[in-house]
Structure 1
Amino acid sequence: MIESIHIKNAIVFENLNLEFHKGLNVFSGASGSGKSVFMESLLGLFGLRDSNATQIQGILTQCPINLEDYGIDNENEIFINIIKKDKTRYFINNSLIAKKNLQEILSNHIKHISLKNSTELQSSNLLRVFDTLITSKEQDYHSLLLQMQIKFDELQTIKQSYNQLLKEEKNIQELREFATFEINKIQSLNPKVGEYEELMQLKKNFSKKEKIQELITQSLDILQNIHIIQNTLQILEKTHPTFDESILEIKDILHNEDTKLQELDTLNPEEILDRISKLADLNHRYGSIEEALIRLQFQQEKLKEYDNISFNKEKLLDNQKQIEKECILLAKEISHYRIKYIKDFTNGLEELCKLLKLKDIQVLLKENSLSHTGSQEISILLKNTQIQNLSMGEYNRLRLAVMCLEANFSDKTGILILDEIDANLSGEESDGVAKVLKQLATSYQIFAISHQPHIPALADHHYLVTKKDNKSFIQSLDTEGKIQEIARMISGSNITKEAIEFAKKRLNL
């Protein structure tokens, strides 16, 4: 509930502070006094309207709202602060928040009845309310609905997988051909890790072969006369322990390299260059020989998947049929309960509609395609007229009836804001709205503007909006104030004795 609101520098409110209470809170006053401006500020507090003041603050209590999902600590109170300067900023418990997130946080707790912009009369909500009624009477029904939802979600997942396989199957030939092409391309080369580098070294050796062989020949010729150096060292009686070993090692190196160069004569340079070109193409295409081999393994596995796709499709189809059967059985069981209690739902709605002077209401429970709620939909006709073709007054009164019906057998609570709900209604219709609001006020904290005496007469708290010197003020009325204001609403500014007596009678005084 809203405990208090502070409005600073609105169009007509300079500095307004109000405290609120549970139940039905009604605002009345002469035309142009500022009632609508206040209601716009109240809606602005919840992000349902743009702010019409430099600052709007409100404190909410007893709200089952989890703020941690938005990075805000949960506290006993929710403090909303809206500041409007060059731009409008929104805060919850001193944490800056986007207007969209403010609306989302409060969406399940705040209801605003104005235009035909609600979900209360949509089939999905009517079915939810109906199911809530059944749950209040049948302990196992909630579990049944949960099973239906889980099983239907499973069915949808399998259908998506099956449809994806069907899409893949349409392109399967192209995918198979491409995979086969890549496999053949890589396998035909049969590349080895490090092979490219080895061939590049051979290419370098080919280019230097003649020069290296010439140098090796010259070096070996020089080594033929190395004995002169050895003899000289002996005569000088100078010895070098590693000299002979080094000379032998050098000879071995030169002979080995000469042998390798001679082996190059057995190789085809053009074949080597062609092999290097093909390996270079693999490197360019896949990044490296290692990556090409990984791609080969991947495509080989994909080819197996493509070959098995028909098997997987049939398996998924069998699973889909099985789960669909289970869903149909659950839907039939749900339908059994709904058929059993549709009369209770209809009677409850008819009773409320009778109060609201809504005649000839029909509740239709029809079969529909399978969904997470079963296989039925529910709709309402008023005098054989579909909901979307109702007048604004009929539409909003029917919304109140559905909300009140749900409140009668559930623990749903919240805040309900009404824009002149009794405007353009007859006295009987307005009186019916007042009685239904009084019932709703046991579950909802209600804020309503009223131009007729019926709703104020049943209000838990009555507020008078007045205007003086272009400034508006709101005061909570005591019993005498309620009598005077209801009398004014009946007879106008010249309050008659009869109006006073009528007001007292309506207030049971």
Structure 2
Amino acid sequence: MIERVYLKEYVTFEEVELEFSEVELEFSKGLIVFTGPSGAGKSVLMRGILSIFGFFDINAKLSEAIVDNKLDLEKYGIEEDEVTIFRQIRKNKNRYFINNQAVSKKVVNKVAKEFIDYLSLREVDEFENENIVNLLDKMIREKEYYVKLEDYKSKYKKYKELKNKLEKINKEEKEAIEKIEFLKYEIDKIENISPKVGEFEELMSIKKDLSKIEKIKEKAYEIERIFEYENNVYEFLDMIEEDSEFFSNAMNELRIAIDKAQEKASYLESIDIEEVLNRLSNLQELIRRFGSIENSLEYLEEKKKELNLLENLSFEKENLQKEIKTLKKELINLAEYLHTKREEVAKKFEEKLNFYLKKLYMPDAKVVLEKDNLYNLGITKAKIIVNDIDINTISTGEFNRLRVALLASKLEYEEKEKTLFLDEIDANLSGEESMSVAEVLKYLSKKYQIFAISHQPQLASKANKHFLVTKKDNKSFVKELSKEERIEEIARIIGGKEKSQKAIAYAKEMLNIK
């Protein structure tokens, strides 16, 4: 439950500090009602409180709320404490904190939605199919049912994954023929060249050598003439009594070098220069496109794998269709079981709902279950109809009372204590109807902490805490009312500014004050 709220420099409120911890009575979480003249800032204040929890963008310089609910903060990486403190500070931009740890607004709202329900005007979420089906599931008290429900959810998740995979294959199949041709063309283009790592560098070296083969041959011929003077050198060395070994070694090395050059020249002359140039051109095209020969070979392998997958689509598709067919059959059997059990509790839920609708001076409602296509909760489609009229077309007053009846009907099945925010839930109602709403909300406060804005005396008279919102000189103020001040405020609501003795007497009667 929310124990304390603080707002500083928020719209027309300079400072708001509200304490709610005293509300908790022996069997009550508390009904907290805000009243005051139109335009004083009641809705603005409620939005401000909700903004602390990320439901709206906040305009306060500083805001804070202390909450005593047991929340699973560890999954968000937030340290837990005895109480949870939500704080927002505005410095250039809004910054959010939970237990002094900086978090995003999104995380704040996710945490808050675990214990806060905000029912805005004409909000129909609670009447959506899945919410009604989930409520029916909570009413079923059979272990076997929950085992089968979880089994269904698990199988349905797999079913959807397989369906998505099949859909992807069907889509790919339409494009496969054209894509297969393209892949084959790409593969053939690289395979026809059949590049090898290091080949390009080797051919470039050959090309370079081919460009100077004639010069090599010419120089080799000229150098060979040195051997004509070899004997003269030996004779000279003998004459001066020098060892000729160094000269002999040098001449042998020279002969070897000339032989190698001639062999290389002979090899190069056997090479087809046009073939080398064409090969280099093909390899250069691959390098330009892929960056390197290595990259082109990697691309080739990728395309071969892709081609293999596409050529095996029909086989994979056939297996998928068989698996989906088997799984669908299992899902339908499970869904039929779930639907039958839901039908059994739907009647009980309808009776409970109509019990509260009667208290709220509303006609009976019907909880209608129909079978539909498979979805994540089975085949059950549920809706609530009042007077054979769709809830989207009933009046605002009827709609709000229906929401109150729904809240009361699911009270005993709520697993967690929650805080409700209700914005003028008793709007457009007669006195008798307003009192019925007030009494049911009072009952709901056994399980919920309820924040409500009201312009009606009935709801104000049932409050555990009653706050008055006023406005003066374009500044708004909020204060908790004492017993005497509550009499004055309720009398104002009944009779307007000119509070008659009759209005005051009626206010005392509503508050059970003598």
Q: Normalised by the size of structure 1, how large is the TM-score?
A: 0.90
Larger mean Cα displacement after TM superposition, 276-285 or 208-217? 276-285
Alignment partner, residue 456 of structure 1: 460
Unaligned 5+ runs, structure 1:
none
Confirm or deny that 1:55 pairs with 2:62: yes
CA offsets, 1:238-291, max 9 Å, x none? 226454234213211211220221233322221221122122222223333333
Confirm or deny that 1:64 pairs with 2:71: yes
Larger mean Cα displacement after TM superposition, 395-404 or 162-171? 395-404
Distance of aligned partners of 1:311 and 1:213 in 2 relative to their CA distance in 1, 3 Å threshold: same
Distance of aligned partners of 1:190 and 1:47 in 2 relative to their CA distance in 1, 3 Å threshold: closer
Alignment partner, residue 86 of structure 2: 80
- Residues 491 and 499 of structure 2 are in contact (CA less than 8 Å); yes or no, is this contact kept in structure 1? no
Larger mean Cα displacement after TM superposition, 97-106 or 186-195? 97-106
Q: CA deviation at 1:343?
A: 0.7
CA offsets, 1:94-120, max 9 Å, x none? 445444443343234322223223411
- Residues 67 and 105 of structure 1 are in contact (CA less than 8 Å); yes or no, is this contact kept in structure 2? no
- Residues 358 and 364 of structure 2 are in contact (CA less than 8 Å); yes or no, is this contact kept in structure 1? no
Confirm or deny that 1:207 pairs with 2:211: yes
Aligned counterparts of 1:495 and 1:50: Cα–Cα separation in 2: 42
Distance of aligned partners of 1:304 and 1:98 in 2 relative to their CA distance in 1, 3 Å threshold: closer
**Superposed CA RMSD:** 2.7
Secondary structure in 1 matching 2:143: coil
Alignment partner, residue 351 of structure 2: 347
Alignment partner, residue 26 of structure 2: none
- Residues 204 and 280 of structure 2 are in contact (CA less than 8 Å); yes or no, is this contact kept in structure 1? yes
Q: CA deviation at 1:302?
A: 3.1
Aligned counterparts of 1:165 and 1:37: Cα–Cα separation in 2: 53
Larger mean Cα displacement after TM superposition, 100-109 or 82-91? 82-91
1:326 to 323, 326, 330: 330
Letter in 1 for 2:131: N
Superposed, 1:268-347 pairs within 5 Å as 268-347=272-351
Aligned counterparts of 1:52 and 1:196: Cα–Cα separation in 2: 68
2:116 to 98, 110, 115: 110
Confirm or deny that 1:430 pairs with 2:431: no
Q: Normalised by the size of structure 2, how large is the TM-score?
A: 0.89
CA offsets, 1:35-85, max 9 Å, x none? 34433432333343444544333222215252652x543333332333457
Secondary structure in 1 matching 2:65: strand
Aligned counterparts of 2:349 and 2:282: Cα–Cα separation in 1: 78
Secondary structure in 2 matching 1:225: helix
Letter in 2 for 1:313: K
Distance of aligned partners of 1:334 and 1:206 in 2 relative to their CA distance in 1, 3 Å threshold: same
CA offsets, 1:464-507, max 9 Å, x none? 44566766544434545545544554455435268536634653
1:159 to 160, 163, 179: 163
1:415 to 405, 413, 419: 419
Aligned counterparts of 2:296 and 2:111: Cα–Cα separation in 1: 52
Letter in 2 for 1:149: K
Distance of aligned partners of 1:52 and 1:260 in 2 relative to their CA distance in 1, 3 Å threshold: closer
Letter in 2 for 1:16: V
Confirm or deny that 1:503 pairs with 2:508: yes
Q: CA deviation at 1:351?
A: 1.2
Larger mean Cα displacement after TM superposition, 208-217 or 288-297? 288-297
Distance of aligned partners of 1:254 and 1:458 in 2 relative to their CA distance in 1, 3 Å threshold: same
Larger mean Cα displacement after TM superposition, 313-322 or 92-101? 92-101
Secondary structure in 1 matching 2:212: helix
Alignment partner, residue 32 of structure 2: 25
Larger mean Cα displacement after TM superposition, 160-169 or 497-506? 497-506
Aligned counterparts of 1:364 and 1:238: Cα–Cα separation in 2: 123
CA offsets, 1:334-388, max 9 Å, x none? 1121122111111111112122222131111011110010001100111121121
Distance of aligned partners of 1:249 and 1:413 in 2 relative to their CA distance in 1, 3 Å threshold: same
Q: Percentage identity across aligned positions?
A: 38
Distance of aligned partners of 1:194 and 1:472 in 2 relative to their CA distance in 1, 3 Å threshold: closer
1:222 to 223, 226, 239: 226
Letter in 2 for 1:226: E
Secondary structure in 2 matching 1:301: helix
- Residues 347 and 367 of structure 2 are in contact (CA less than 8 Å); yes or no, is this contact kept in structure 1? no
Distance of aligned partners of 1:43 and 1:296 in 2 relative to their CA distance in 1, 3 Å threshold: closer
- Residues 14 and 471 of structure 1 are in contact (CA less than 8 Å); yes or no, is this contact kept in structure 2? yes
Secondary structure in 1 matching 2:51: helix
Aligned counterparts of 2:410 and 2:165: Cα–Cα separation in 1: 38
Confirm or deny that 1:6 pairs with 2:11: no
Distance of aligned partners of 1:301 and 1:4 in 2 relative to their CA distance in 1, 3 Å threshold: closer
Alignment partner, residue 399 of structure 1: 403
Larger mean Cα displacement after TM superposition, 462-471 or 327-336? 462-471
Alignment partner, residue 232 of structure 1: 236
Confirm or deny that 1:133 pairs with 2:139: yes
